[in-house]
Amino acid sequence: MSALANPGLVVPISAFIMVVLIVAVNCIKTMRTRELQAHQELRMREMEHERKMKELEIEKAKIELEKARLPKPVGSVPQ
């Protein structure tokens, strides 16, 4: 109990602990910011991919529609 009451020991240890806590909080904040940026980037890529897939699906449907509209030659052999 006397070691806790000794200000010559408590003040430097508490100052060191305070610095460690400040650095830890700053590191956690930086990590969280980077994590949020990574999630945002991933979501943007996912949305871009979905958009491209929809465009390809629409283009595929257009091509199939054009093929269905073309008249088939009379003497052609089915494949």
Q: Which residues contact 3 (CB under 8 A, 6 or more apart)?
A: 9
Residue 2: pLDDT band by 50, 70, 90 thresholds? low
Q: Which residues of 56-66 are buried (b: 16+ CB within 10 A; e: fewer)?
A: eeeeeeeeeee
- Flag whether the pTM goes above 0.85: no
Contact yes or no for 3/9 (Cβ under 8 A): yes
Distance between start and end Cα atoms, the chain = 94
6-20 confidence digits (pLDDT tens): 778 888 899 999 999
26-65 confidence digits (pLDDT tens): 999 999 999 999 999 999 999 999 999 999 999 999 999 9
